[in-house]
Structure 1
Amino acid sequence: VDVEPLTLLPVKLEEVLVQQCTSRPYQVDQENSVLKEDPSEVRTEAIKRLLEVFGIEEPPSIHYYTKQAPQYMIDLYNTVADADGVTKDPDLLEGNTVRSFFDKSHSNQMEFFFNLSSVAKSERILTAELHLFKLKPHATELAFFNRHHFCQVSVYQVMDKNRISLPQGKKLLTSRLIPIHSSGWEVFTVTQAVRSWANNENSNHGLFVTIRTLGGIHLNPHLARFASGEDHHPQRQPMLVLFTDDGRRGTVLPNSFQDSNTLNSALPSDRLIRQNRTRTARSSGEYDEEIMPCKRHPLYVDFDEIGWSGWIISPRGYNAYHCKGSCPFPLGQSMRPTNHATVQSIINALKLNKGVDTPCCVPDKLFSINLLYFDDDGNVVLRQYDDMVAGSCGCH
């Protein structure tokens, strides 16, 4: 669908959001007997409804202007979304929500704890990953490394904090060999542990990591080093990445429409009816409003204007677009009509049934957007929202 080259200006909040409100507060003008909206209450209700659309109960009370998001989450966002947040490919992301949690234990003993209280009970856990950044070995240990080229890193779910050194105090989740001389991120799958914590949050005692030689000898963490939350750069902090699905899915719209040209051409009076409508519109001074065809127009939602710039990382706003225009008889294929809309336009044009309006200009293709933001606990969340952008418009 063609888009008019209009300037994308931020629109007022009420213009964008008030359509989300099913119940609006009103004030009655007794003198004129006209219902008038209270702008402040409309704004409050609109923002409340918008939060519901985004699946957020309350916006974070803290602004995170100076806090840096993990590079992994930024890279993931750029992989699945374009500059405006629109999803590049819906199959790129597993589920519709990705969360990153920083280690809360601040321990140098390779023990990690992640607070998962922000994960809703209704969310289905798909994959959980422990991300650890392996540091380069110190030059003073080169003699040791010349004899050992690999180490075995094992990740355990802590079952009993008081018996973590005993076999019954921990449960092995995954184990693999890592080059001792390597440096960079290492990712371990810990889905089993996180799912058990989701079923019983009191069982979350954290994760425990051991490093051994190929002969099974425990290595000093200073020999095969991983970055900790306290001692190293914030971008190298231990992190748990959780992929979930909240079960929310958008409306399925038809992506193709049957040909209605045959049905339209069967009526010889179509051109006459269109000419009469045009003459009437011109004579009444409503030419532009009447014959402007159904098409897509820009509608930019500015998160800064809404007051959300303190916790939304990307995008700063997005073009939702909106559909506007008439659906005059006869409906050509450029109007992308459904068969039902074609029949409705015929009934309306021939006045075969009173009270039947012309079809409406509405979105017939919707795209999802992605939002990267800080939650109330300071965790970074990437979430995908369906039905947020009108991809094209048609007469329905």
Structure 2
Amino acid sequence: MLPAAIWISMVGLAISRPSLNYVESEPEEVRSEAIKRLLEVFGMDDPPAALVRGHKEPPQYMLDLYNTVADVDGVTKDPTLLEGNTVRSFFDKLHSEQIEFLFNLSTVAKSEKILTAELHIFKLRPQASLTFNRHHFCQVSVYQVLDSNKKNVSQGKKLLSSRLVPIHSTGWEVFTITQAVKSWMSDEGSNFGLLVTVRTLAGLQVDLKTVRFSSGRHHHHSKQPMLVLFTDDGRRAASLEGTSKGADDSRAGPSLPFPSLPLPPANRRIARSSDDDESGEKIPCQRQPLYVDFEEIGWSGWIVSPRGYNAYHCKGSCPFPLGQNMRPTNHATVQSIINALKLTKGIEMPCCVPDKLFSINLLYFDDDENVVLKQYDDMVAGSCGCH
């Protein structure tokens, strides 16, 4: 498969807003194939159901995480901020009156590497009681249910995480449950859910009216309990090791500014095949805008952010002699000399191509209405050079 940035450039020609003549001459099968290949770049066979967003709001945690790792166009701020390349949020399917939860993880591929799993539960404001007056802390424990018929005895459950929580506090409490999720992924039939217990420091059961946690049944969707799963799907590019010679640059994030460029007029969105500008003069190798608009592609129904992004593309000539502003490789310099001196027949001038690529992040709904944050490598041309 072609590298993602190259595919985006090619697909951009087919899916950016074209001129009227281009629309009339564009065969439907070309568009279908272009969309299919673009889905492959994003690791999907089919787009998720387009109407999901009509009645669902993404969890605030996922929105905050996206804004932490990505800029307004989705470009990764710092590749080290995110563990793995995929984060999913799952809502509880049980809606029990007790503090019990069940999460459907069927959308996670068996091939994905489980890195970290967290249970996020919202602690509500406590109700005053004698217990509340006597105690300032409670012991909150999260168990993996091993046998749904024996969850109230030690043989039917396995302790995953436990800690002291202030009785008077309110807000999100997060518990690591990675061990349970790994076992569920290895044996799907072992997923009997999670059980949370609340006890005093003396080990006595605390009245659940005193220490309360939000459930999906009675409380606002913004406080629903959820499982947050960090994975790596194995698609991280082994890529462009040559470009990561500037590995220090990559780790530090984009070294070039990403200005918010105005979109080109509709009748100029189809890239010219030549390296000439409007006056017919050769333009030097440089980075130019290539905006991918998810609404135009028909993906705005399931993608939360970004609405689109600037993939950029490289255009221009690499004439002899190549200056350092052309960011040439040694090979390109030699090739340009051979071409200029006509020492070998059929040797072309070096090509203007991306020499640094950056990743982007998508925040979207999947078919099960889970919200997914996914990072895709090599999607934005960060700079161009003669190669």
For the superposition of Structure 1 and Structure 2, which TM-score range results when normalised by the shorter chain? 0.7 to 0.9
Give the TM-score of the pair, scaled to structure 2.
0.84
User: Matched residues in 2 for 1:287 and 1:237: separation?
Assistant: 56
Q: Which residue of 2 aligns with 1:4?
A: none
* Aligned residues: CA RMSD: 2.0
Amino acid of the structure 1 residue aligned with 2:236: R
Which residue of 97, 100, 105 maps to 1:111? 100
Deviations 1:279-305, CA, capped at 9 Å, x for gaps? xxxxxx989555200000001100000
Amino acid of the structure 2 residue aligned with 1:156: Y
1:1-396 paired onto structure 2 within 5 Å: 15=13, 39-63=27-51, 64-138=53-127, 141-250=128-237, 251-252=239-240, 253-254=242-243, 291-396=282-387
In terms of Rg, which structure is larger?
A: 1
Amino acid of the structure 2 residue aligned with 1:96: N
Q: 1:350 to 1:13 in 2, by over 3 A?
A: closer
Amino acid of the structure 1 residue aligned with 2:317: S
Q: 1:394 to 1:56 in 2, by over 3 A?
A: same
User: Matched residues in 2 for 1:89 and 1:101: separation?
Assistant: 25
Q: 1:12 to 1:331 in 2, by over 3 A?
A: closer
| 8 A Cα contact 2:49 2:302, kept in partner | no
Amino acid of the structure 1 residue aligned with 2:154: P
Deviations 1:98-143, CA, capped at 9 Å, x for gaps? 00000001111111000000001111000000000000012xx243
User: Matched residues in 2 for 1:145 and 1:202: separation?
Assistant: 40
Gaps of 5+ in 2: 1-8, 17-23, 247-275
User: Matched residues in 2 for 1:333 and 1:12: separation?
Assistant: 28
Deviations 1:254-297, CA, capped at 9 Å, x for gaps? 3669xxxxxxxxxxxxxxxxxxxxxxxxxxx9895552000000
Amino acid of the structure 2 residue aligned with 1:388: M
Amino acid of the structure 1 residue aligned with 2:33: E
- Structure 1's consecutive aligned runs of 4 or more residues displaced over 4 angstroms after TM superposition are 11-14, 285-290
User: Matched residues in 1 for 2:227 and 2:289: separation?
Assistant: 39
User: Matched residues in 1 for 2:279 and 2:351: separation?
Assistant: 17
Aligned residues: 340
1:43 aligned counterpart, secondary structure: helix
Gaps of 5+ in 1: 1-10, 19-35, 258-284
User: Matched residues in 2 for 1:143 and 1:105: separation?
Assistant: 31
| 8 A Cα contact 2:87 2:229, kept in partner | yes
User: Matched residues in 2 for 1:14 and 1:79: separation?
Assistant: 28
Q: 1:289 to 1:200 in 2, by over 3 A?
A: farther
User: Matched residues in 2 for 1:144 and 1:14: separation?
Assistant: 64
User: Matched residues in 2 for 1:286 and 1:225: separation?
Assistant: 67
Q: 1:191 to 1:341 in 2, by over 3 A?
A: same
Amino acid of the structure 2 residue aligned with 1:365: K
| 8 A Cα contact 1:94 1:244, kept in partner | yes
Shift, 1:223, TM fit: 1.3
Q: 1:73 to 1:122 in 2, by over 3 A?
A: same
Q: 1:352 to 1:12 in 2, by over 3 A?
A: closer
Q: 1:62 to 1:323 in 2, by over 3 A?
A: closer
Shift, 1:166, TM fit: 1.4
2:89 aligned counterpart, secondary structure: strand
| 8 A Cα contact 1:337 1:395, kept in partner | yes
Shift, 1:37, TM fit: 7.6
Amino acid of the structure 2 residue aligned with 1:15: L
Amino acid of the structure 1 residue aligned with 2:162: S
Amino acid of the structure 1 residue aligned with 2:383: S
